[in-house]
A and B are shown apart, each in its own frame.
Chain A
């Protein structure tokens, strides 16, 4: 059975430290220990050289690779849904449940949450207005994702297995109680002035 780890840096900003971190031998060893077979990296438009530079350390078949098959691509304009699905458990395609490691862009986070695949969120510290950090940590507190810095990825991947067994489903189910929020549909209806 194949087990995929899919890494995505998104389309907007480059995130070299993340690419370098997931191509360190320490991380590959951790993947191997947890039964992963494939590492697929979406590295972004201007980071091909960084990806290839890191990969040069690992000649095909060298023991440093820990038997992990590594592949990469710059970006897919049709979206990353197909690549993300490789991490979903699917016995008919010989896939066991893997994980996604993502930059903290809301689009990528939502896509992974929708698929119900365990997600490691790595905020990009080079972005100026870093509200991504808050989002990542809030989601971790609520039990949806694992959040970490790019330096901590090898240990974060261990926490993924714990997350897998107790993941909450997305979108959140509104808790039954006296305080119900208005939905977008209701707010729009209010403003339209629709008769009930």
Chain B
């Protein structure tokens, strides 16, 4: 037997074990429920991914219907794609006309202006762009999304000082192409922190189950419950998932659908199922 034979067997075994490990990690992660640990008064960071016309309109329709509470979701980041002035304008309109009005009176002028930011990332693929160059622009877009999640994108103002971690707590999206990049980037960051926490180290910090309010939490610990991802399939999707939806089915922590026929779908056996929640747009 040639040594290449063994090498081949080894490579295949390695690939299979890596893939099954990842699949196992994804399914455990999807089936983990977040414990109730966060005091209602603690500062939080919500990241909303906006998309072209219809997606953005539906997103703000949902946020209005749920009566997004700015005292609960204290800081908000909106991701828009380059050239999408409609979405950026809608985000400003939502913040200034809707949220500022519902915010308690003393918090108005000073804090509201500083409590959100709009970040522009490059498009994964522009209309009429060749499929040959699309992978490169997708990578560029993906990299920008990683920067946003880590709080390092040039468009971002420094987060309020009470935020200990640069990571958003929850990522909410309803399916433009950029959403795929953002959710994958969030999962990669979480995987990174999971792997880091597995490595035994002498400076390992003891993980407290409950954090006394006001104390500094190590980022590694808080990352465990951060970067949670929620994908809402468009209300316009009645019997089939969108392309973004199909791609994100194994990756989003929560996958909400608005029509009954889409409920109960899963990426593969053992994965979390999509949740039918009825129409949540207004």
Residue numbers of A with Cβ under 8 A of B are: 11-12, 105-107, 110, 114, 131-132, 134-135, 138, 170-172, 174, 181-185, 187-188, 190-196
Contact = CB atoms under 8 A, between A and B. Distances in A.
A12 B254 contact: no
Contacts of B209: none
A184 B236 contact: no
Nearest 9 A/B pairs, CB to CB: A191-B228, A106-B236, A134-B238, A193-B34, A185-B66, A184-B66, A181-B277, A107-B57, A193-B38
Interface residues of B, number: 47
B280 interface: yes
Interface string B225-253: 10010101011111110000000000001
Contacts of A131: 236-240
A100 B65 CA distance: 24
Given A187-B254, A188-B170, A12 B53 contact: yes
Interface of B: 33-40, 44, 46, 53-54, 57-58, 61-62, 65-67, 72-73, 169-170, 172, 225, 228, 230, 232, 234-240, 253-254, 256, 259, 275-282
A187 B46 CA distance: 13
Nearest to A134: B238
A172 B256 contact: no
Contacts of A135: 235-238
17 contacts: A105-B236, A110-B281, A131-B236, A170-B282, A171-B279, A171-B281, A181-B275, A182-B277, A183-B66, A184-B62, A184-B65, A187-B230, A188-B46, A188-B230, A190-B33, A194-B40, A195-B39
B236 A193 contact: no
A110 B61 contact: yes
Contacts of A188: 46, 66, 73, 170, 172, 230
Given A134-B239, A195-B38, A184 B253 contact: no
A6 B38 CA distance: 50
A8 to B, nearest CB: 14
Contacts of B253: 191
A132 B235 CA distance: 11
Contact of A106 (B38, B54, B65, B232): B54
A107 B67 CA distance: 19
